[in-house]
Amino acid sequence: MYFTVTLKTDRDSQELAADAMWAAGASGVEINDIHDVEEVLHDPMNWDYVDDRVFKEEDCVVKGVFNDGDDLENRVRGALGAYPFLVYKELKVSSDEEEDWENSWKKFYTVRTEGDTELVPIWLKDSTEVTPGKFRVIINPSTAFGTGTHESTRLALRLMAGEVAGKKVLDIGTGSGVLGVAAAKGGASRVLMTDFDPEAVKDAIEAAKLNEVSDRTEVRLCSLTQGIEERFDTVLANLTADILKRLLPDLSKVMAEGGVCILSGILTDRAEEVIESFAEYGFVTVDRADEGEWTALKTVRKTRVSVFNLGCKTNQYECDEISGALVNSGFSVTEKLEYADDYIINTCAVTAEAERKSRQIISRVKKFNPDARVFIIGCASEKNPAFYLDKHVQYVSGVGGKYNVIKYLTSAPKYEFYPKTEFEYPVTLPAVTRTRCLVKIQDGCNNFCSYCVIPYLRGRARSRTIADSVSEIKKLAERTREIVVTGINLSAYGIDTGESLSGLIRELKDVDVRIRLGSFYAEGIDDELLTALKGLKEFCPHFHLSLQSGSDAVLKAMNRKYSAADYLRKVELIRSYFPYASITTDIIVGFPGETDSDFNETIALANAAEFSDIHVFPFSAREGTVAYNLKKLPKPLVKQREDKLLQLKAILKNKYLEKMLNIPQKVVFETESDGFKVGYSEYYIKFYVDTRAEYAIIKPTELYSDGLKGEIINE
C-alpha cells in the first residue's frame, strides 16, 4: 500500500511545498504534471519548467507519494509549517491498495515505438518480440532520472531516426541514458554520455548494462562538455532552453562541421527563441517534432567563419562584402572574434600599433580554436607577407583581390597577390550586421603624405562608377536605417573616371534612409558638394575632416595640400550650410620637427574650429615613408602634448554637447546599456534614452556619460 498527499498552493509557494513533501519523507513528488513523478526542485535541468508558462490554473497542485502512512497528515502539515511564507489549502490524504508504489506504475507503461526505436519496460522484455526494422531499448521506470517515456525523450527519438548509424554520438545531459543507449543500439560507432549529476551517471551506466552496450558506450561525470576535445557527428542534448542557449559556444566546439544536433527538453513556447539563438551560431533547423507543451529540434551545423576587421571603415565594408558572399554560399558568419572553424582577418598597418595588433591576431585566434584555418588579407599582410607565411596560416594575400579569399576556404594556395590598378567591384550585397551599412565607393590615395604608408599599400586612387554605387545604396536602403559612404580618400572620388562625388550625391536625393559621409580631406569641400548634400532627404551633418596639424610648417613637412587658414575656411563653409554640423578630426602630435609654437598653433586651430571630437594620435614612424628617417621627438614630450590635446578634446566635446541641448535630433538606437537604449543622432551624438523604440526624435535635456540624455518627442 502507498499513500498520496495532495494540496494546492499558489505559484510562489509550489517549490517550497515540494521541498516540504521531501522533508516529510516522500518517496516522490510531482508539481502540476501527473505524468512526471520526478521532483523538479532538485534537478537544475528542469528549473525553467517550473514557471508561469507551465501553470495555467490560478492554483498549483503538488503531490507527494509516501510508503509510510503513520500520522501522515500531521507529518506533512508540520513540514509545511517550517516555511512561514508558504501558502496552501485543500490538503488531502488518500491511499492505494496496490502492493507497493513502484509496482503500481506498471499499468502506465507499454511497448512504445518512436522513430526506429522500441521502448520496452523491463518486465516485458521477454514477453514481446522486436518489430522488424526496429531496435529495442529496455527501460527501467523506477530509475531516479526519468522513465524514458517523457515527451521530450520520445520526441528526440523520433528525430534521431537515421542519424546515428556509423556515427560518433555525444549525449549531453544524458539523464537515465535512454538516448545514448538508443544511439548505441542504432549502430553508432562511439557513444559518449555526460551529465553533471552522479545519480544520472549511475543510472546511465545501469541502462547501458541492462541493454548490453557497455562496450560501445562511455559515461562521464562532468559539466556537460567539460574536457571534451574530440568532434562528434551527432549530438543529443535533452536540456532546457536556458541551458541550451548557455551551452551554444561549447556545442560549436564539440560538433563536426555538417554535424546533426538533436535538441529536446524545450517548452514549445520557447522553441522559436531557441531556433533564433542557434541560428546565430550556424545551426540550421531542418526538422522539428511537437507534442503537448514540448518541442524537439533537429539542427545541422554549418561551417562557421569569423570575418574580423582590424582596420578602417573601408576595411569594414570589405569584410561586410565577404560576409555577404559567404552567407549566400551557405556558411554561418560572425563578425566577432569568437569560436569559429575559419577566420578571415582583414589587417591594418596605418600605425605601428595597428600593425602590432594585426601580428598578434593569429595567437588570439588559436586560443579560440587551435585547429582553425586562418586567412590573412589587408594592409599589414601587403606590407609584410613573410611574417604571416612563417605562421603557417592557410592563406596570405594583401589589399588587392580580397573578395577572392572566399573561393579558397576549402583549398587555398599559401600566397597570392593581386594588382591594385582598378576599383574592385563587389560580387554581392554586403551583409547587414548593424543598424548602418557601409558602401565603399573609392579606394587608394595619390596624396603620399610624408608619414603615411597607405598609398604604398592600397595603391593609387580609383573610383567606383556612380551608377554602380547608387544601385547598391538603393538596394541597401531597403534593409537598413543609415548608409555611410566611405573610401580611403573620398575627396579623390572620380579623379580617375571624370565623375564627381557631388554628382553621386545628387543621384541619391530620393533615398529615404540617412546618408552619412566617411572621412574627408579639406580640399574636397566646396559649394557644389554642400549644395548636393543639402538636397538629400536625410543627410547626417557630421563631417570627419582630417586635419593632422594646425601649423603650416608641420603641414608642409607632412606634404598636406592645404594651410591652416584654408582648413578653417572649409569649416566656416560647412557651417554656413549646416549651422549645427558636428565636425570631428584627426590630429598627429609629435611629428618630427614639431616645435612648441607649432603645437600651440594646433591648439589654437582646434579651439577656433570648435571640433565636436578629436582623434589624437602620437606620431608613428612607418617604414618606407619619407618621415620614417626623420629625427623623432622625445617620447615624454610627445606624451605631454598628447595629454594636453586630450584635455582640450574633452572640453570641446562637452562644449558642443551643451550647444546641442534642446535641439531636437533623430536617433537610431543600436544597443542597450544600464537600462537605456543607446544610439546616434544625425550629428553622430550618442544618446541614452529610456525607451523601447528603435527610432525616435529626441529633445536632449542633459549631458550623460559620453553623450546626451533626452525626452522622446515623437517615435
Quote the pLDDT of residue 97. 59
**152-209, pLDDT tens digit by residue?**
888 999 999 989 999 999 999 988 899 999 999 999 999 999 998 888 898 899 999 9
Quote the pLDDT of residue 29. 80
- Is the distance from CB of 548 to CB of 539 less than 8 angstroms? no
Please tell me whether the overall predicted TM-score, pTM, comes out greater than 0.75 for this model. no
* pLDDT range class, residue 25, cuts 50, 70, 90: confident
* pLDDT range class, residue 578, cuts 50, 70, 90: very high
**347-371, pLDDT tens digit by residue?**
999 999 999 999 999 999 988 888 8
Quote the pLDDT of residue 662. 87
Measured CA distances, 653 to 384, 581, 710 (Å) = 38, 13, 17
Burial of 52 (0-12, 13-18, 19+ CB in 10 A): exposed
User: Quick check: 278 pLDDT over 80?
Assistant: yes
Mean pLDDT of 510-536: 95
Mean pLDDT of 237-261: 89
Mean pLDDT of 386-391: 92
- Least trusted range by pLDDT, from 8-12, 37-41, 681-685: 37-41
CA distance 237 to 245: 11
Q: What residues contact 551, with CB distance under 8 A and at least 6 apart?
A: 564, 594, 597, 598, 599, 601, 602
Quote the pLDDT of residue 28. 76
Mean pLDDT of 585-603: 97
Q: What residues contact 177, with CB distance under 8 A and at least 6 apart?
A: 171, 193, 203, 204, 205, 206, 207, 208, 219
Quote the pLDDT of residue 94. 85
Measured CA distances, 5 to 66, 69, 709 (Å) = 8, 10, 57
Mean pLDDT of 394-423: 85
Quote the pLDDT of residue 330. 85
Mapped onto helix, strand or coil, the DSSP state of residue 167 is coil
User: Quick check: 106 pLDDT over 70?
Assistant: no
Considering only residues 37 and 29, tell me which one the structure prediction assigns the higher pLDDT.
29
Side-chain-side CA neighbours of 358 within 13 Å: the count stands at 31
**628-655, pLDDT tens digit by residue?**
999 999 999 999 999 999 999 999 999 9
User: Quick check: 38 pLDDT over 50?
Assistant: no
User: Quick check: 702 pLDDT over 90?
Assistant: yes
User: Quick check: 35 pLDDT over 70?
Assistant: no
